[in-house]
Amino acid sequence: MSNSIHNYILSKLQQRKDADNFRSLRITNGLVDFYSNDYLGFARDENLHDKIQAEINSRKGSALGSTGSRLLSGNSGYVEALEKFLAEFHQAETALIFNSGFDANYGLLSTLPYRGDTIIYDELIHASFHDGIRNSKANSVSFLHNNIADLEKKLNSVTGLKYVVIESIYSMDGDFAPLKQIASLCDKYQAGLIIDEAHATGVFGTGRVAEEIPDAKILAHIHTFSKALGTHGAVVLCSDELKEFLVNYCRPFIYSTALPFHSLAAIKCGYALMNEAKEKRGKLFSLIELFKQQIQSKENALLITSNSPIQSVVISGNKSVKEFAAKIQEQGLDVRPILYPTVQKGKERVRICLHSFNTETEVTKLAGTINSL
């Protein structure tokens, strides 16, 4: 490596260290899990593990990898049947599987909105959408988080084809988008509505779109298998024509090797378990209530509680939030600080994820520890 490239890398790393947001990889430490997105414990479910193993064994001789992109050698009857199942499960016209939620969001937004169009997005959408917007030729403008009046103002003022991008449950605040109101505004202004259901999938059954606005005109909704499903990959649910459009134009779909058979088997088995997960969901929601009852408002922090598994304690400043999280970890409870630039400056937070496998004692200890800090 040339000296100047090496020096550039060092200076960029130092920049992160100076800003207290240097990222490094860690091995899971065996503390109580209050940080993963495994909301229903599927990733550690032995029954699911056995089912996936049996599904894989039932097709001995299948290629280990998919061997190519879907348009070349990576397609199969298995993946097409799975897409058909997913479309029916989520009550959509059709489905297209992507290798990750990031690919799906990035691919959709970087491909569909074109020069002269406008993407109107909630200010708290995920980085994958932001990168898609950055790579799109369309104009873009944000609206204030969950603010219908501001969304309407933007819908009124922008030009070209309009796209509105939201999450049904926001990944950092855990709050809910007002789906009905947003869908009816999009209808009024003829805007294409794109909804990321990453944190609702599984936790809210078939998802908030299918459960709350089954008749609304949605351009696309995206479900990831990487959170409550406990596995990996994602699906875009949309019209037959949009699916064909993506197959023809969406570069992360066209130019990447398709998911291997064992990933597809895991997704299929995860969905089978989802139908039986009523008890796990009940347990999760009772722990969410317990946490909300026990956590007290604080002078030194802003609490963002929600009716989803995601709860946040906002402590401004990267250094302060890291110290706050470390004190909780010292009690055997694993939470992770979310730093700027992942969240807005001043909105750094400890992001707490509750799970069906946490116990009442653990949740009580977590709330008590936060109350005492």
Ligand X SMILES: Cc1ncc(COP(=O)(O)O)c(C=O)c1O
Q: Which is nearer to ligand X, 110 or 224 (CB)?
A: 224
- Smallest distance from ligand X to CB 112, Å: 17
Q: Pick from 38, 196, 348, 362: which binds ligand X (CB under 6 A)? A: 196
Instruction: Determine whether 215 is exposed, middle or buried from the number of CB atoms within 10 Å of its CB (0-12, 13-18, 19+).
Output: exposed
- Indicate the SS3 state at residue 364: helix
Min dist CB 297 to ligand X, Å, is: 27
Name the residue nearer to ligand X (CB basis): 226 or 329. 226
Q: What residues between 325 and 344 interact with ligand X by CB under 6 A?
A: none
Nearest to 31 by CA among 294, 291, 335: 335
Least distance in angstroms from the C-beta of 174 to ligand X: 11
Binding segment (CB under 6 A) for ligand X, from list 17-25, 56-64, 97-105, 186-194: 97-105
**Token output for 51:** 């089912």
Given the rule CB under 6 A, which of 141-149, 158-166, 191-199, 361-369 is the region that contacts ligand X? 191-199
Burial of 255 (0-12, 13-18, 19+ CB in 10 A): exposed
- Which residues are registered as beta bridge partners of 353? 310
CB of 199 to ligand X, least distance (A): 6
Report helix, strand and coil shares of the chain as percent, to nearest 5. Answer: 40, 15, 40
**Cis bond before residue 341 (omega within 30° of 0):** yes
101-120 binders of ligand X (CB under 6 A): 101-102, 105
Cα distances from 165 to residues 51, 64, 241, in angstroms, run 36, 36, 20
Nearer to ligand X, 225 or 324 (CB): 225
State which residue, 195 or 269, has the beta carbon closest to ligand X: 195
Q: Draw the binding track, 206-235, toward ligand X (x: CB under 6 A; -: no contact).
A: ------------------x-x-------x-
* Of 33, 38, 167, 175, the one binding ligand X by CB under 6 A: 167
* Residue 122 sits in the site that holds ligand X (CB under 6 A): no
- Return all residues near 175 (Cβ < 8 A) that are at least 6 apart: 146, 169, 304, 306, 308
CA atoms within 13 A on the CB side of 361: 2
Only one of the segments 6-14, 20-28, 111-119, 196-204 lies at the binding site for ligand X (rule: CB under 6 A); that segment is 196-204
Alpha-carbon gap, residue 326 to 107, rounded angstroms:
37
Closest approach of ligand X to the CB of residue 327, in Å: 25
CB 76, min distance to ligand X, A: 21
Residue nearest to ligand X (CB): 101
Which of 189, 236, 193 is closest to 83 using CA atoms? Answer: 236
Contacts with ligand X by CB under 6 A lie at: 100-102, 105, 126, 128, 167, 171, 196, 198-199, 224, 226, 234
